[in-house]
Amino acid sequence: MAEKEYTETSEAQIAVHWGEEGYYMPSVKFIAQANMTDETIYDRFSLDNFPNCYKEYADMLDWYEYWDEILDTSDAPCFKWFKGGKINACYNCVDRHLDEYKNKTAIHFVPEPIEEGYQHITYQELFVRVNEFAALLRDFAGLKRGDRVTLHMPMVPELPITMLACARLGVIHSQVFGGFSGRACADRIVDSGSRVLITTDAYYRSGSLIDHKQNADIAVDLAGKDGQTVDKVLVWQRYPGKASSSTPMADGRDYFVNDVLKDYYGARVEPEKMNAEDPLFLMYTSGTTGKPKGCQHGTGGFLAYTAGTSKYVQDIHPTDVYWCMADIGWITGHSYIVYGPLAIAASSVVYEGVPTYPDAGRAWRIAQDLGVNIFHTAPTAIRALRKIGPDEPVKYNYEFKHMTTVGEPIEPEVWKWYYEYVGKKKAAIVDTWWQTETGGFLCSTIPAIKPMKPGSAGPGMPGIHPIVYDDEGNEVEPGKGIAGNICIQNPWPGMFQTIWGDRDRFVDTYFARYCKDPKSTNWQDWPYMTGDAAVVAEDGYVRILGRIDDVINVSGHRLGTKEIESAALVVEEVAEAAVIPVAHEIKGKEPDLYVSLKPGYEATDELAKKVSDTISSEIGKIAKPRKVWIVKDMPKTRSGKIMRRVLAAISNNKDEGDVTTLANPEIVEEIKKMVQG
Ligand code: PRX
């Protein structure tokens, strides 16, 4: 198989890594109430019992027709789970809870402005709102089973309502992170072939009411130029009946949802009986090229896996108040704010704004007010909360029984603050390592069974069997202290099914490198390559070092360096661009951008700003580089390849190694002076 090119400056290479830490035990009180305390789960989910072990997760769901084949590998590596089964995700997350829980809160919505208080949406209300909106989508927007629809929505309850309404109809939703630009939204509209865009007029962030509708106009316009017509834009209003955005509505194209919904009062929509393997949603993520990949997640497998892991790893009981602070625009929110928790009748908190707004105590006041007892966030948020208010959490009277960290490696020091100050030494912590592609957790601890170890994600989940390979494809044994490319030996139900419309890219990116036989229909021949480097300790606990490819994890968000570089090249004056990851105190990593100019242009601060602004408008503010360094020339090999490794060493104040073989070694000193002063 074709050798893929791997990056010469990966996150994993610049990882500052820590040693093995000691174990922390969960409290007796936690264990006494935990959903999963039976250690034999690891045997039940051993490779010998694969794939039948996953029946346990499937049985947490209600099926219209029970499946007859647990895993179909005939089109490997596009695996199909629970074949023959018929199911509806919305029914499982809403309808089936009504008998017992209709009066219980499904979603606690916390608007950012404090004076707006809290909203508590019961399962009954969720049922009503989802049904009415589903009727609107079907009868007004003309959407039907199998259609794709793009959502570009912030953290408001209308987002899960929209997702569930789509799921009810079998419409495949593709939610684009609200902070992404109109351009980024357009690319996803085009790739998914959406003719309907669902958005919101405005939302609060850090105290400002942000005009979001303007992004829809840009997105529709750019998508049209790229050949995808959007004929309807459905606009939820932050304040129903009141204009919060000055962007005008396009006649015959844009509709306020709240106006149209009046026609669907009392409507009920029969959930579609979907095949277990029908797609539920697309989630675009960055890869090694400029074009984001639409990860296609299936219905039965995804829901079973997220329900099972929400129950066993998140330890959610219907009586708990669960707050995952991620954005629903990312996979964490799909799996662990919406589908997983709601499938097991959780009360899930949705917070509109910034956790540190207006002050360091906000998050802890929300926890105190709502009685949150399960808390889930990313190291970047933990670092930020610690920095601005290290003693703040202990001032508030909440009690977490369980806390999660997700999205990036967490430094043991930060972990310990989380444990001592946020968890008040009472909460069990799980560090969950996984990816957009994987739908749910890959490595973590089952909190009542395995002890915690700061800085380590933990062993493979029950039914997930990691293996580390070196570049030659030899297995790296655990306990040797040697890093390698971490892969998963077996498929699992939460795993994505393919890249939307690009099976070849799916196979090339995730399987080609370590596939034992490209013609094989045995799952054993198709280890899944995660794209992360990892070290596995003797006890099987995994420490993730970071990406081995051209992907940077900024504040727990994935960005492709090639995406940022292509955005920089949109600027007329720019000739070449190179992005490298730099270590950052709060964000974990941050992109540093080097550009060289076409002849005749001069390096100015205005030009640097123009490049930076272009990246914000092309991708979104999260991709904004730490700094745009305009250099005379890039350090290059004699064959003309940009030496990103050298730039990364300079940005990270590391030794740049031997540069004498470069075509232009003298440029290195010059750039170094500029960057390091
Ligand atoms: O590098 C790993 C890192 O985040 C990448 C996946 O990013 P994304 O698809 O955006 O999903 C984030 C939320 C699941 C991984 O390839 N990563 C994720 N979780 C952890 C992590 N690195 C270390 N520890 C984690 N717990």
Inter-residue contact 230 to 196 (CB < 8 Å): yes
Q: Residue 645 is encoded by which pair of tokens?
A: 């490794």
Which atom of ligand 1 is closest in space to residue 326's alpha carbon?
13
Tens digits of residue pLDDT in 408-466: 999 999 999 999 999 999 999 999 999 999 999 999 999 999 999 999 999 999 999 99
- Name the residue of 383, 406, 435, 495 whose CB sits within 8 Å of the most ligand 1 atoms, as the mutation to test its pocket: 435
Distances, alpha carbon 375 to alpha carbons 320, 340, 361, 620, in Å: 11, 15, 15, 27
Q: 419 is written with which tokens?
A: 């444990």
Q: What whole-number distance in Å separates Cα of residue 274 and Cα of residue 297?
A: 13
Average pLDDT of span 635-650 = 92
Instruction: Give the type of residue at 580.
Output: I
Q: How far is the CA of 555 from the centre of ligand 1 (A)?
A: 10
Confidence at 6, pLDDT banded by 50, 70, 90: low
Residue 259: the pLDDT is: 97
Asked whether the predicted pLDDT for residue 35 surpasses 50, the reply is: yes
CA of 345 to the centre of ligand 1 (A): 26
Instruction: Decide whether any atom of ligand 1 lies within 6 Å of the 332 Cβ.
Output: yes
* Range list of H helices, 491-604: 503-510, 561-568
Q: What pLDDT score does 5 carry?
A: 46
The reported pLDDT for the residue numbered 46 is 98
293-308 pLDDT, tens digit per residue, is 999 999 999 999 999 9
Q: How many CB atoms lie within 10 A of CB 266?
A: 8
Ligand 1, atom 10: closest residue by C-alpha? 558
154: three-class secondary structure by DSSP: coil
How far apart CA 236 and CA 279 sit, in angstroms, is: 25
1, pLDDT greater than 50:
no
Kindly give the interhelix angle for 644-651 and 666-676, rounded to the nearest 10 degrees. Answer: 30
Q: Is 170 in the pocket of ligand 1 (CB under 6 A)?
A: no
| Among 453, 479, 486, CA closest to 538 | 479
Is 269 a pocket residue for ligand 1 (Cβ < 6 Å)? no
Q: Is the CB of 631 under 6 A from ligand 1?
A: no
In angstroms, what is the span from residue 504 Cα to ligand 1's centroid?
24
Question: Is the shortest distance between the CB of 407 and ligand 1 below 6 Å?
Answer: yes
pTM above 0.85, yes or no: yes
Contact 181 CB / ligand 1 (< 6 Å):
no
Q: What is the pLDDT of residue 110?
A: 98
Instruction: Verify whether ligand 1 is closer than 6 Å to residue 510 (CB atom).
Output: no
Query: Which residues, in sequence order, are CB contacts of 505 under 8 Å at separation 6+?
Result: 293, 499
* H-run or E-run covering 205: strand 202-205
Cβ atoms of 563 and 285 within 8 Å: the answer is no
Residue from 442, 553, 557, 563 to probe ligand 1 pocket by mutation (most atoms less than 8 Å from CB)? 553
DSSP assignments along 401-459, one per residue: SEEEEESS---HHHHHHIIIIISTTTSEEEEEB--GGGSS-SB---TTTS-B-TT--BS
CB 596 within 8 A of CB 640: no
- Local structure of residue 320 (DSSP, 8 states): S
Residue 275 · residue 85 · CB < 8 Å: yes
Q: pLDDT band at residue 475, thresholds of 50, 70 and 90? A: very high
Pairing of the two strands 148-152 and 196-200:
parallel
Q: Is ligand 1 within 6 A of the CB of residue 436?
A: yes
Whether 506 is in the pocket of ligand 1, judged by its Cβ within 6 Å, is no
Q: Report the pLDDT value the prediction gives residue 4, as an integer from 0 to 100.
A: 46
Question: For residues 629 and 675, is the Cβ–Cβ distance under 8 A?
Answer: yes
What tokens does 335 get? 């799996």
State the average pLDDT over residues 554-582: 93
Binned at pLDDT 50, 70 and 90, residue 7 comes out as: low
Q: Express each pLDDT in 139-155 by its tens digit.
A: 999 999 999 999 999 99
Q: Whose CA is nearest to atom 12 of ligand 1?
A: 407
Sheet with strand 542-547: strands edge to edge: 466-469, 484-488, 528-536, 542-547
Residues 6+ apart with CB under 8 A from 294: 174, 188, 191, 192, 282, 283, 284, 499, 500, 501
Percent of the chain predicted with pLDDT > 70:
99
Identify which of 434, 443, 464 to mutate to test ligand 1's pocket (most ligand atoms within 8 A of the CB).
Answer: 434
- The C-alpha angle 584, 590, 595, rounded to 5 degrees, equals 130
From the CA of 406, give the closest atom in ligand 1: 26
- Between CA 216 and CA 675 the distance in angstroms is 38
pLDDT at 10 over 90: no
- The Cα 352–Cα 85 span in angstroms is 36
For residue 558, the ligand 1 atom closest to its alpha carbon is: 10
- Does ligand 1 come within 6 angstroms of the Cβ of 543? no
Per-residue pLDDT tens digits for 158-204: 999 999 999 999 999 999 999 999 999 999 999 999 999 999 999 99
Q: Among 558, 559, 589, 622, which residue has the most ligand 1 atoms within 8 Å of its CB, making it the best to mutate? A: 558
Residue closest by Cα to atom 7 of ligand 1: 435
Tens of pLDDT, residue by residue over 494-512, are 999 999 999 999 999 999 9
The rounded percent of the chain whose pLDDT value lies above 90 is: 94
Taking alpha carbons only, the member of 193, 162, 188 closest to residue 177 is: 188
- pLDDT over threshold 60, residue 227: yes
Rounded (10°) angle between helices 605-618 and 182-192: 40
Read off the pLDDT of residues 327-384 as tens digits, 9 standing for 90 and up: 999 999 999 999 999 999 999 999 999 999 999 999 999 999 999 999 999 999 999 9
The token duo for 18 is 């820590």
Mean pLDDT across 527-549: 96
Round to whole Å and give the CA distance between 566 and 553. 18
Identify any residues that bridge with 636 across adjacent strands, giving them in sequence order.
642
* Predicted pLDDT of residue 2: 37
Compute the distance from residue 129 Cα to the ligand 1 centre, in Å: 33
Any ligand 1 atom below 6 A from CB of 535:
no
